[in-house]
C-alpha cells in the first residue's frame, strides 16, 4: 500500500513540476484556489482521523507539500493580492502539521493546527470580502 501512495505522490510531483502556475484570469485563480483548499481540507480530515497511520500521514504530507509549491507559484490577480499570502500560510501550516504528524511529533502537529485555525479565520474573512466561498471549511472546524 505504501508503494501506491509513493507512486501517487511522485505522479503529482511530476505533473506539478511542468512549469509555473499562472492564473490567466480571476476565474482561473478562483478555481485553482478553491481546488487547493478542498484538497487541503480533505488531507487534514484524513490525517486527523488516522493519526496512527504513519504511511497515510507520509502520503498526505507529500500531497500537501506539492500543493504548497503550486500555491506559492500561483500569481494572484490584483483583486486577490491581500488574500493570497494567507491562502499560502493556511496550506503551509497543513503541510507542516502533516510533516510532524508523519514523524509522530504530536506536539508540533498540534502547534501548527492551532496556527492553522487562526489563519483560516483571516483567510475566510478576506475570501468573504472578495466574494469567494470555500464550501469545504466545515470539515476543518
d(CA 135, CA 5): 27
d(CA 43, CA 91): 11
For the chain, the average pLDDT equals 84
3-state secondary structure of 75: strand
Distances from the Cα of 82 to the Cα of 7, 11, 134, angstroms: 36, 32, 17
pTM: 0.78
Residue 135 has what pLDDT? 66
pLDDT in tens, 70-88: 999 999 999 899 999 999 9
Residue 95 · residue 64 · CB < 8 Å: yes
Name the region of 132 (left: φ>0; alpha: ψ -120 to 50; beta: rest): beta
Q: Which residues pair with 75 in a beta bridge?
A: 22
16-20, 101-105, 133-137: which range is least confident on average?
16-20
pLDDT in tens, 23-66: 568 899 998 998 999 999 899 999 999 999 999 999 999 999 99
> Which residue, 1, 25, 133, is CA-closest to 79?
25
CB atoms within 10 A of CB 53: 16
Amino acid at each position: 500500500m505504501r508503494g501506491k501512495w509513493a507512486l501517487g505522490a511522485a505522479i503529482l510531483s511530476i505533473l506539478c513540476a511542468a512549469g509555473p502556475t499562472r492564473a490567466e484570469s480571476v476565474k482561473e485563480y478562483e478555481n485553482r484556489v478553491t481546488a487547493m483548499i478542498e484538497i487541503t481540507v480533505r488531507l487534514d480530515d484524513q490525517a486527523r482521523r488516522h493519526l496512527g497511520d504513519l504511511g497515510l500521514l507520509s502520503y498526505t504530507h507529500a500531497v500537501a507539500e506539492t500543493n504548497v509549491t503550486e500555491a506559492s507559484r500561483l500569481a494572484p490577480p490584483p483583486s486577490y493580492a491581500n488574500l493570497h499570502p494567507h491562502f499560502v500560510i493556511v496550506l503551509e501550516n497543513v503541510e507542516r502539521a502533516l510533516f510532524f504528524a508523519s514523524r509522530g511529533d504530536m506536539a508540533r502537529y498540534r502547534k501548527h493546527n492551532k496556527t492553522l485555525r487562526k489563519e483560516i479565520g483571516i483567510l475566510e474573512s478576506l475570501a468573504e470580502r472578495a466574494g469567494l466561498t470555500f464550501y469545504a471549511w466545515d470539515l476543518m472546524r
